[in-house]
Amino acid sequence: MTNNLHKILFEKFGYSSFRPGQLEIIQSILQQEDVVAILPTGMGKSLCYQLPGYILPHSVVIISPLLALMQDQVEQLKKMGEKRVIAFNSFLTQSEKQTLLNKLEQYKFIFLSPEMVTQEKVKEKLKSIPISLIVADEAHCISQWGYDFRPDYLRLGEWLGDNMDRPPVLALTATATKQVMDDIHTHLNMKKPTQHIQSLDRPNIRYAAIEVDSREGKFDKIAKQIDDFTGPGILYTQSRKKADNYAQKLITKGIRIASYHAGMEQVDRMFVQQQFLNNEIDWVCATNAFGMGVHKNDVRQVIHDHFPSSVANYSQEIGRAGRDGADSLATLFYTKDDEDLSIFVATNDFPDEAHVNVFMEATRNGIQPTQLVSQSLLSETHVRILSYWLSRKTMEETVKILHQLRLQKIQQIHQIKDILLNSTCIREKIVQFFGQAINSKPLNCCSKCGMELDVIVESSKANSSYLTLQSWENRLSSLFHMID
Amino acid sequence: MLFQQIILHMVNRLNEERTISAPYHLIRGKRSGQTIQDVKSYHLTKYFALFPRLTKQSYDQIIHQMIESGWLRVNELSIPQITELGEKVLNQMPTFHLNGWLYRGNERIFFQRLSLVTQTLSHVKANDLAFIPIQKDEKIHNWVRHFLKMVSYKNEGFIEEFYQELKTTFQSAALTDLHLTILSHRLSGYQVSGVTWQQLSHMLETDQMDLEILFQECLHIVLDEISLNTKLILLPRMSEGIKTTTPLTESAKRTADLYNQGHSIEQIMSIRQLKKSTIEDHFVEMAMNEPLFSIHMFFPCEDIQHIIQQIKNQQTKKLRTLKEAFPAYSYFQLRLLLAIGGDSIDQQST
């Protein structure tokens, strides 16, 4: 059997070997076991259900709580030439949903958002079609002890609970705390699941947290690091404006860099990804909008100029480095008052009681929420969050939930700050946060354990030239590979 | 600078009869009765839907800068007026081959098709079909899939043919090197990355908005060229449905259909569940755009040509002023008269 699996791995996915843990997980799935699989981010979780999909006779249903993640996985499957893949989410119109629902069984990979599973029509259809495997992606979202609790995910358990002879369930996550694991077992109604737990540590990523005196000083340090040490790299910053500014300043210093944020046209964002993948630029200066869908294995550096909004987001972002296994560096530059700024950014656009009142008042008077946005009474984010909660909870409950969530956001920033500013090993702290202990530390582990930068990253190479424009005739013939 | 000149041009045309929001709605391509009427009455068809994504914030910022530069004034009623300095700036404006009213934002759909077809063919030629489509819209995916099947893209020589058609079209005399540099670098393919607006702006040392205006103009010229050159086979298929065939907005078209079936305004209101003012907007649109549309039913026993002449004598298109001069007519009637009396399409005007 292993031979066969290797054959599919190579033919369908183009890999000659499995990453740690993948083979065991796939074997358990094929033996019809329920599986809880814990793998670090970016280390090939999706392969664990994609490959069995080509062996199992029927559809694989994947429940995915993050829309962007879902879209990326659909795109990746399509890119491999898989046509039998469908994303079923709230972006579809009613009639599109109906059409797709009618022929749902024709799809091999069916992606669903958690709230879709609870819709009667969808539920009924899922009951009537043969399913070989159900996947709960980002399964920690089911636990309110997890850092990213999604109440809708709980209904997934209700659905699985109703279903006596259901297909096996695979729960995937990068969190291994006991509470979260327990919640996954109970809420997903798992039957004696086999656990496959990989170390969440990424030993080839080295951590540095460096304090600087001032904002200006920070930029100079970042510029120096980018100038001294090699890319490809990602420089994460907090705002669109800053991303543009940094990039502009670094371009004038001769760095091949482009900015990337959600304020840019979709096509522009794709262009930056193309340039990064084609090694036409060495650096991307981005907000947290960058990452999903960027499948580049040789990222050598990730730099932050701020405290990210949580430990989970931090490890997501730095986890984009070193996927090829080679040494990589994650550096975070901070000043003393950066924590306040991060808290401001995280909570600034988050609604509170006053916003709830504005929203309710408007609803009572038959005013559309979009009007409130155009009158600048509420932001789009306010409306999105308030519509979500107020359609599920009472006003009082919503106010309470929002208050808790706000506190949680602040606490999450304290957590990441504590880890980075503590005098103990950053690696140890991060792995502990996700419920594991580390067995060994690499040499040059982190800035607390002590490290020499130039051992980890090479000094930057002589710059090849930055983008140049071609004549339109040349450009056209290179697009179509015409020899003129 | 081009963008500011276009604003000045609009302000100039609006003749101190509209507020500073009017150009904003027009540039965004708002399909409301008022904006559509402005397009026609003030001969601003070129600029309709020039920047559908323009935010009020950036618009206000640009207007603010223009006031600071002393190019225009905005009075306490929010009505803009061009200054002498502004007129000098306006006089420097090049003539644009824009045709916003004809394409109404659909030129972007044409570009989306073009960019995905180009990306696909580029990968076909390189024998590597594993790529992430540059366009995310499923409708575009389906269109391109269908198109490529229909033209049997796998046939020997197809890519060469497509490439030659593009090349021929791009040789149009109306297109400048700058137009084509922009357009060709907004396309991407196998190991050929696209170039972002920011990067283009930096390398061409030209304001990003101006580049986007030139890009739009380039698409309009290309589309015109495609419809004129009878030797082309593939590109006309790619521009199917891009040019607006009915001059009416979709909603007005539905009202017009009901009206032509013999329904009254009141009946149309109840069938379509729309307010009277909306239906009236549609009738004004019909009066403006349909040469055969008669407004006699709204003026049972009067000489319409005579009234129109009287209105023209007032030398204003401002409704409030006209209402004061002709209190006997309703606002709706006055708008119909203006619509009929307004000059016909101003495609060639600058």
- Residue A258 with chain B: CB contacts under 8 Å: 196, 198-199
Question: Could you give the residue range(s) of every CATH 3.40.50.300 domain in chain A?
Answer: 2-197, 202-484
Predicted local distance difference test score (pLDDT) of residue A484: 56
Q: Is the pLDDT of residue B346 over 70?
A: no
Burial status of residue A162 (CB atoms within 10 A of its CB: 0-12, 13-18, 19 or more): exposed
Q: Is the pLDDT of residue B110 over 90?
A: yes
Cβ pair A75:B122 closer than 8 A = no
- Integer angstrom CA distances of residue A477 from A480, B109, B236: 5, 23, 21
CATH class of A2-197: alpha beta
pLDDT digits (tens, 9 = 90+) for A57-71: 999 999 988 888 888
- At residue B7 the predicted structure's pLDDT band, cuts being 50, 70 and 90, is very high
Residue A411 CB neighbour total at 10 angstroms: 11
Q: What's the start-to-end Cα distance of chain B, in Å?
A: 17
Between CA B297 and CA A384 the distance in angstroms is 48
Residue B294 CB neighbour total at 10 angstroms: 12
Between CA A437 and CA A441 the distance in angstroms is 11
CATH T-level fold of A202-484: Rossmann fold (3.40.50)
What's the token pair of residue A256?
Answer: 């091949």
| Locus of tokens 């601003």 | B44
CA torsion through residues B36, B38, B44, B47, sign = negative
Angle formed at CA B303 by CA B300 and CA B306, multiple of 5 degrees: 145
Q: Is the pLDDT of residue B348 over 70?
A: no
Between CA A443 and CA A332 the distance in angstroms is 19
Interface test with B, best of A67, A276, A476 (most B CBs within 10 A): A476
Locate the chain B residue with the closest alpha carbon to A258: B199
Predicted local distance difference test score (pLDDT) of residue A145: 67
- DSSP-derived pairing of the beta strands A35-38 and A194-197: parallel
Predicted local distance difference test score (pLDDT) of residue A147: 65
Predicted local distance difference test score (pLDDT) of residue A146: 66
How many CA within 13 A on the CB side of residue A98? 3
- At residue B330 the predicted structure's pLDDT band, cuts being 50, 70 and 90, is confident
Rounded to 5 degrees, φ, ψ at B51 are -135, 80
Cβ pair A268:B196 closer than 8 A = yes
Predicted local distance difference test score (pLDDT) of residue B166: 96
Predicted local distance difference test score (pLDDT) of residue B349: 34
Cβ pair A478:B198 closer than 8 A = no
Q: What's the start-to-end Cα distance of chain A, in Å?
A: 52
Predicted local distance difference test score (pLDDT) of residue A363: 86
R_g (Cα) of chain A, nearest Å? 24
B114/chain A closest Cα distance in angstroms:
12
Rounded to 5 degrees, φ, ψ at A291 are 150, -60
Q: Which residues of chain A are modeled with pLDDT < 50? A: none
- DSSP-derived pairing of the beta strands A85-88 and A205-211: unpaired
Between CA B285 and CA B190 the distance in angstroms is 46
Beta-sheet strand order (sheet of A301-304): A205-211, A328-334, A301-304, A233-236, A283-286, A257-260
Predicted local distance difference test score (pLDDT) of residue A463: 63
**Cis omega (within 30 of 0) for bond into A57:** no
CA torsion through residues A16, A18, A24, A30, sign = negative
Tell me which CATH code domain B2-95 carries. Answer: 1.10.10.10
pLDDT digits (tens, 9 = 90+) for B20-73: 999 999 999 988 878 888 888 888 999 999 999 898 989 999 999 999 999 999
How many CA within 13 A on the CB side of residue B158? 18
A277/chain B closest Cα distance in angstroms:
9
Please say whether the beta carbons of A64 and A70 come within 8 A. yes
Tell me which CATH code domain B250-341 carries. Answer: 1.10.10
Locate the chain B residue with the closest alpha carbon to A274: B193
Predicted local distance difference test score (pLDDT) of residue A186: 87
Residue B308 CB neighbour total at 10 angstroms: 15
Between CA A358 and CA A373 the distance in angstroms is 11
3-state secondary structure chain A: CHHHHHHHHHHHHCCCCCCCCHHHHHHHHHCCCCEEEECCCCCCCCHHHHHHHCCCCCEEEEECCCHHHHHHHHHHHHHCCCCCEEEECCCCCHHHHHHHHHCHHHCCEEEECHHHHCCHHHHHHHHHCCEEEEEECCHHHHCCCCCCCCHHHHHHHHHHHHCCCCCCEEEEECCCCHHHHHHHHHHCCCCCCEEEECCCCCCCEEEEEEECCCHHHHHHHHHHHHHHECCCEEEECCCHHHHHHHHHHHHHCCCCEEEECCCCCHHHHHHHHHHHHCCCCCEEEECCCCECECCCCCCCEEEECCCCCCHHHHHHHHCCCCCCCCCEEEEEEECCCHHHHHHHHHHHCCCCHHHHHHHHHHHHCCCCHHHHHHCCCCCHHHHHHHHHHHCCCCHHHHHHHHHHHHHHHHHHHHHHHHHHHCCCCHHHHHHHHCCCCCCCCCCCCECCCCCCHHHHCCECCCCCCCCCCCCHHHHHHHHCCCCC
Predicted local distance difference test score (pLDDT) of residue B347: 32
Question: Could you give the 3-state DSSP secondary structure of residue B80?
Answer: strand
Please say whether the beta carbons of A449 and A425 come within 8 A. yes
Predicted local distance difference test score (pLDDT) of residue A41: 79
Please say whether the beta carbons of A433 and A311 come within 8 A. yes
Interface test with B, best of A271, A371, A473 (most B CBs within 10 A): A271
Tell how far CA B308 is from the center of its chain: 28
What's the token pair of residue A468?
Answer: 């140049």
- At residue B344 the predicted structure's pLDDT band, cuts being 50, 70 and 90, is very low
Cβ pair A480:B115 closer than 8 A = no
- Residue A478 with chain B: CB contacts under 8 Å: 189, 192
- Residue A264 with chain B: CB contacts under 8 Å: 196-198
Please say whether the beta carbons of A56 and A216 come within 8 A. no
Between CA B74 and CA A442 the distance in angstroms is 67
Please say whether the beta carbons of A323 and A291 come within 8 A. no
DSSP per residue, B169-225: HHT-TT--HHHHHHHHHT--BTTB----HHHHHHHHT--HHHHHHHHHHHHHHHHHH
Picking from B240, B237, B257, B261, the residue whose alpha carbon sits closest to that of residue B249 is B257
Locate the chain B residue with the closest alpha carbon to A471: B181
- At residue B154 the predicted structure's pLDDT band, cuts being 50, 70 and 90, is confident
Q: Considering CB atoms only, which of A258, A266, A469 is closest to B185?
A: A469
Which DSSP helix (H) or strand (E) runs through B162? Answer: helix B158-170
Interface test with A, best of B198, B208, B235 (most A CBs within 10 A): B198
Between CA A68 and CA A84 the distance in angstroms is 19
- Angle subtended by helix axes A395-421 and A338-348, to nearest 10: 150
* Beta-bridge mates of residue A170: A35, A135
B63/chain A closest Cα distance in angstroms:
19
Interface test with B, best of A481, A482, A483, A484 (most B CBs within 10 A): A481
A80/chain B closest Cα distance in angstroms:
6
Picking from A197, A85, A63, A233, the residue whose alpha carbon sits closest to that of residue A142 is A63
Predicted local distance difference test score (pLDDT) of residue A462: 66
Please say whether the beta carbons of A415 and A407 come within 8 A. no
Q: Is the pLDDT of residue B225 over 80?
A: yes
Residue B327 CB neighbour total at 10 angstroms: 8
Between CA B43 and CA B100 the distance in angstroms is 12
What's the token pair of residue A182?
Answer: 């327990």
Q: Considering CB atoms only, which of B135, B184, B191 is closest to A475?
A: B184
| Locus of tokens 């850092």 | A147
A474/chain B closest Cα distance in angstroms:
9
Q: Considering CB atoms only, which of B125, B126, B194 is closest to A267?
A: B194
3-state secondary structure A327-356: CEEEEEEECCCHHHHHHHHHHHCCCCHHHH
Cβ pair A264:B192 closer than 8 A = no
The ipTM estimated for the assembled molecules is 0.85
pLDDT higher at B77 or B344: B77
Burial status of residue A16 (CB atoms within 10 A of its CB: 0-12, 13-18, 19 or more): exposed
Picking from A242, A248, A277, the residue whose alpha carbon sits closest to that of residue A258 is A248
DSSP state of B152: T
B232/chain A closest Cα distance in angstroms:
18
| Locus of tokens 């183009």 | A14
Between CA B23 and CA B17 the distance in angstroms is 12
Predicted local distance difference test score (pLDDT) of residue A29: 95
